[in-house]
Structure 1
Amino acid sequence: MGGNPDQFVRFVNVQKSYDGETLVVKNFNIDIAAGEFLTMLGPSGSGKTTCLMMLAGFETATHGDIILDGQSINNVAPHKRDIGMVFQNYALFPHMTVAENLAFPLRVRKVPQADIDAKVKRALEMVRLESFGSRRPAQLSGGQQQRVAVARALVFEPKLVLMDEPLGALDKNLREEMQYEIKHIHENLGVTMVYVTHDQSEALTMSNRIAVFEDGIVQQLATPAQLYEEPENAFVAGFIGENNRLGGKVTSVNGVNCAVELDGGAGIVNALKVNVDGVNERTMLSIRPERVVIDPEDGRYPNRCEARVEELIYLGDHIRARMTVSGNSDFITKVPNTQRHSQLKKGEMVRIGWATEDCRALDAR
């Protein structure tokens, strides 16, 4: 390895414009460690796939430098970057058998035939398709084809593997199964992976770190737990997991906390001061549904207010209750399916509460 293992992949001040005017990637900087599983997550058009294509060599950066293992690859052809690639549509050769598909990148690299046979066998074992080598892609299920695509990206032992929404065409159950499959392959091989998806649950399941994109900018780069528990702005809070939003105005600041007067005259609550500066500033409070308590005990939950039950959905282990709180009719709570709280009724007024540390005062977007 030629460079710093903590900076195995580097984007340095990278920008991308297709028309010379509008930037689809704006001053992108990131370091990816060797062996890391990093996911680029964001909605369509946020710039995540463009960053992956620039790393693969299929797009050229308008400005900045992309470095792989200590060497700039801006002017290196895609096939010389030693990068494995998995596409959403699998991109398997239909006229070749599975074994021939896996052998193809090895033949291009002029690997001896004896080594090709051994590497193909090992790759098939890795994705649990040992008996499928003689089949053609059309004879495989979608999940099996995706396994072959993953094996083909890994068979020549690349420095880096890139995956562009590889599970998007699969049904829900198969997609979840393949998430764990890819995660385990990564853990077993220790290869560096960069993964692109718009599915936040997929990113949370698989990644060491996640870069959340919006409008060509990384809004936050952190571990899955940090993104969920400690979102830095309203976009990240809303994009990662389910999130309740309450608007209001900051009335006072006390160290790391602030007091917020809720819209609609629902009272004043306390929150962590995350992305607001001072008194009279507008803010959007972020509270995760599972942190909201029905009938809170006196003294334990300083934030308390009235809520009207609008809808109840039975989900087995919990009841999803949609409520109106401070004028927001889409305030969600997840009520454990216990005898005490499972008797909620549509239309009734209840008291809810939450802890100050579970309420984050973010930008009012």
Structure 2
Amino acid sequence: MSTIVSFKNVQKTYDGETLVVKNLNLDIKEGEFLTMLGPSGSGKTTCLMMLAGFETATHGEILLQGRPINRIPPERRNIGMVFQSYALFPHKSVAENLAFPLKVRKVGKAEIEKKVQGALRMVNMEKFANRMPAQLSGGQQQRVAVARALVFEPALVLMDEPLGALDKQLREQMQYEIKQIHAQSGLTVVYVTHDQSEAMTMSDRIAVFNNGIIQQLATPSRLYEQPENAFVARFIGESNELKGTIADVSSERCTVKLDGGHTIKASTGAVLRASSNACVSLRPERIAIGEHAKTCDNVFSGGVKDLIYYGDHLRLVMQICGRDDFIVKLPNDGAARTLRVGDSVHVGWMAEACRALQ
């Protein structure tokens, strides 16, 4: 797969002192769905705006299809853009909104009609061509915004928190629809969100941002299963964190002495040395309770502090290893339903289920 976008040593500062983006080097592959994910202020949206041409890089170079674009205005970059606010022209019909970018490009009338119909068909909005934006629901307006970004067949489509204004059910439906459009069209999509589940559901690869730096760039499964540092483990999904010191370490395993005195066997998720500080990350669903826990590499006694019913699973808040906010997720089966607040039970997990990180 060839590279369509390259950020080369890109930096951005607004005040000349604080770097919002720090030495960014990133290659985006043609045809992939790449998500820039991170908390507010992490630099992800600034990167998207620099790629779109609405912000200028302070240092470094951005390449599109091998061509430097730092000095090329947004309208000449051949990039489609979808915003959270839809940004539709309120005085134009759906069809006229889609026709606008084609008219700007001097496309002929017959070709415009053909392309508009094709784009509306792609988002299942053919019947709404003559409606005004105010006559559409939020989800319908977002479909039109996506169609308008695709109608002129851009080299690249950028999406900035496009589903943030929708309710949960509609947001999940639109996630599926955008992913289907991507699969059918073969377009390259760069997507910005702070919603980790949205990123995990839709992306081929995810760039996790924090403090203007990509902390890890990987597939959703690799980010979840093999986070490279404590921030990624904390930001992607949910994890219990146990802090301690490395007692000994081999190529794939280590022993961590926790601050409270307990000892844990863990897999190594970073370059670690004996006596160095470490944070052990453990997913709540990888933990066994009761008899199943006794055969694990790490076995402790824990008290059930709280028990929350979620339908398909139970969420336990436990006191264990000196922590009173330790989370365990259990399938809602017969054994789990016998647990009560105040119970003392064995809690265990395998060494491979937890990672020692820095």
Category of TM-score, reference length = shorter chain: over 0.9
Aligned to 1:190: 186
Aligned to 1:75: 71
Offset at residue 277 of structure 1 (A)? 2.1
Aligned to 1:321: 316
RMSD (CA atoms): 1.1
Offset at residue 221 of structure 1 (A)? 0.1
How many residues are treated as equivalent by the alignment? 358
Where does structure 1 lack aligned partners over 5 or more consecutive residues?
none
Match for residue 304 of structure 1 among 299, 310, 314: 299
Aligned to 2:237: 241
Instruction: Please show how residues 182-331 of structure 1 align to structure 2 within 5 Å.
Output: 182-265=178-261, 267-275=262-270, 277-297=272-292, 300-331=295-326
Q: What is the identity, as a one-letter code, of the residue corresponding to 1:54?
A: M
Task: List structure 1 runs of 4+ shifted beyond 6 angstroms.
Answer: none
1:336 correspondence with 2:338:
no
Q: Distance in 2 between matches of 1:29 and 1:79?
A: 24
TM-score by length of 2: 0.98
Q: Deviations over 1:77-102 (max 9, x none)?
A: 10000000001100000000000000
Q: Distance in 2 between matches of 1:247 and 1:111?
A: 62
Q: Distance in 1 between matches of 2:6 and 2:14?
A: 22
**How many percent identity over aligned positions?**
63
Q: Distance in 1 between matches of 2:127 and 2:181?
A: 19
Q: Tell which deviates more after alignment, 52-61 or 254-263.
A: 254-263
Offset at residue 300 of structure 1 (A)? 3.5
Aligned to 1:49: 45
Checking the alignment, whether the CA contact within 8 Å between 2:294 and 2:348 is kept in structure 1 is no
Where does structure 2 lack aligned partners over 5 or more consecutive residues?
none
Checking the alignment, whether the CA contact within 8 Å between 2:93 and 2:131 is kept in structure 1 is yes
Offset at residue 272 of structure 1 (A)? 1.0
Offset at residue 279 of structure 1 (A)? 1.7
Q: Distance in 1 between matches of 2:46 and 2:205?
A: 19
Aligned to 1:141: 137
Checking the alignment, whether the CA contact within 8 Å between 2:314 and 2:336 is kept in structure 1 is no
Q: Tell which deviates more after alignment, 32-41 or 242-251.
A: 242-251
Label 1:254 to 1:99 Cα distance change in 2 as closer, same or farther (>3 A). same
TM-score by length of 1: 0.96
Offset at residue 318 of structure 1 (A)? 1.4
Checking the alignment, whether the CA contact within 8 Å between 1:276 and 1:361 is kept in structure 2 is no
Q: Tell which deviates more after alignment, 169-178 or 326-335.
A: 326-335
Offset at residue 297 of structure 1 (A)? 4.0
Other structure's SS at 1:122 match: helix
Q: What is the identity, as a one-letter code, of the residue corresponding to 1:270?
A: K
Other structure's SS at 2:222 match: helix
1:89 correspondence with 2:76:
no
Q: Deviations over 1:189-245 (max 9, x none)?
A: 000000000000000000000000000000000000000000000000000001111
Label 1:298 to 1:79 Cα distance change in 2 as closer, same or farther (>3 A). closer
